[in-house]
Amino acid sequence: MPSPGSAAPAPSLAVLSETVDLLGVVVAKMSEKLDQHGETLVTVQKTALESRDAAQAAKSYTDPQRYGRHIGNEIDKALVVPLNRLEALHSGFAADRQDTRRTLDDLARQEEAVLQRLRDDQASAGRRKKRIPFIALFGLVLVLCLAIALPRFMAVSGTACAVLGGEWLKENASGRLACVFYGG
């Protein structure tokens, strides 16, 4: 190694040529390495872009509102038929309930009318019960009157005697007429 203050001999052309060749090889290797690094950087950049796009897509796919809408739509699709069936049943129940209410109201009115008619019949029967003693008394008086008047009527009329199965005869001694019944 030459000392720092001494002059160095000039390198030969062959050494310089070899050095330049070595420098060329080094530069070529470095260029190749830089190209590889460039390709690697392009690949890394491409991967980073793809990762970013995937992250953006994943972000949109993991958005709770989007999932909520999606789940809501799916639930709506799944529940449309049962809900429509339930709505139809509900409207049918409502119509049946209204019909039943009308029928019960009619039955209540009919029941009230029947109860009123029964009350009126009971009141009428009560009034008749109050009249029974007077009717019985009138019947007894009528029977007594007929018991007294009928024989007198029969005794006076020949037609009445014949209707009752008797015979109208004249008494010889007094000349009176009398109704006579013969046993047989």
Q: Identify whether 33 is part of a domain.
A: yes
Distance in angstroms (rounded) separating the CA atoms of residues 152 and 157: 9
Residue 105 has pLDDT above 90, yes or no: yes
pLDDT range class, residue 72, cuts 50, 70, 90? confident
The tens digit of pLDDT for each residue in 118-132 reads 999 999 999 888 888
Domain for residue 143, yes or no? no
* Collapsed DSSP state (helix, strand, coil) of residue 169: strand
pLDDT at 59 over 90: no
**Is residue 81 a part of any domain in this protein?**
no
pLDDT band at 113 (very low <50, low <70, confident <90, very high): very high
Question: Residue 169 forms beta bridges with which residues?
Answer: 178
3-state SS, 17-85, equals HHHHHHHHHHHHHHHHHHHHHHHHHHHHHHHHHHHHHHHHHHHHHCCHHHHHHHHHHHHHHHHHHHHHH
Which one has a higher pLDDT value, 158 or 113?
Answer: 113
DSSP code, position 165: T
What residues make up the domain containing 43?
Answer: 13-62
Q: Are 168 and 179 in contact (CB under 8 A)?
A: yes
165 part of a folded domain: no
3-state secondary structure of 184: coil
- pTM of the complete model: 0.36
- The answer to whether position 181 is within a domain reads no
Convert the pLDDT of each residue in 143-155 to its tens digit.
Answer: 998 888 877 776 6
**What domain count does the chain have?**
1
Q: Is residue 48 part of a domain?
A: yes
